[in-house]
């Protein structure tokens, strides 16, 4: 559907044996290593999602500044202004959280799983919401391949899925509040 520049294929390893000398870690440590890697890669998914969101927002704003309805620029309508205010605010907050999580990684913090999940989940949901709004702001043109907002919406969807679906992230975040 989206990300047409990156092909995706299925890989299958049936009856593959790895010599013990070629193991990268102890048997059974793979899941721990995977989760550690995901905690550091999820912020990059969030950055990707926020790039999509930012581009969709800017394209939408540019379009409604020049498109007229009933003799007025679309941006002059109060309902549109409210929509822009919400999108701009959510985008600024999410971008700020990306910088915060990035600083945690740069400082060497290892226990960032919940922060990374919050960031990936919120940024990818925001990318989908803003790209959908940008399509709406373009009206019928937003649904055409002639405008980039159509692609932004397609590409935003995968950011809600890979590196753990947002439903999984909600579960991880929610579980973090269970007292032990």
All residues at 6 or more sequence positions from 70 whose CB lies less than 8 Å from its CB, including other chains: none
Q: What does the block give as tokens for 162?
A: 């890979």
C-alpha 64/C-alpha 25 separation (Å) is: 55
> Which residues belong to the active site?
163
Read off the DSSP letter of residue 22.
Answer: G
Q: What does the block give as tokens for 74?
A: 């679309």
Q: What does the block give as tokens for 120?
A: 């990936």
């Amino acid at each position: 559907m989206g990300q047409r520049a990156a092909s995706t294929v299925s890989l299958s390893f049936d009856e593959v044996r790895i010599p013990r000398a070629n193991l990268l870690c102890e048997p059974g440590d793979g899941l721990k290593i995977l989760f550690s890697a995901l905690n550091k890669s999820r912020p990059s998914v969030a950055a990707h999602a926020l790039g999509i969101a930012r581009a969709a927002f800017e394209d939408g704003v540019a379009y409604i500044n020049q498109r007229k309805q009933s003799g007025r620029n679309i941006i002059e309508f109060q309902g549109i202004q409210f929509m822009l205010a919400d999108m701009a605010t959510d985008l600024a907050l999410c971008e700020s959280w990306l910088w915060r999580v990035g600083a945690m990684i740069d400082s060497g913090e290892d226990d960032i799983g919940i922060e990374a999940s919050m960031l990936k989940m919120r940024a990818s949901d925001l990318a989908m919401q803003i790209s959908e709004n940008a399509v709406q702001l373009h009206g019928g043109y937003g649904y055409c391949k002639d405008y980039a907002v159509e692609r932004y919406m397609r590409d935003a969807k995968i950011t809600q899925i890979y590196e753990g679906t947002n439903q999984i992230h909600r579960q991880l975040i929610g579980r973090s509040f269970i007292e032990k």
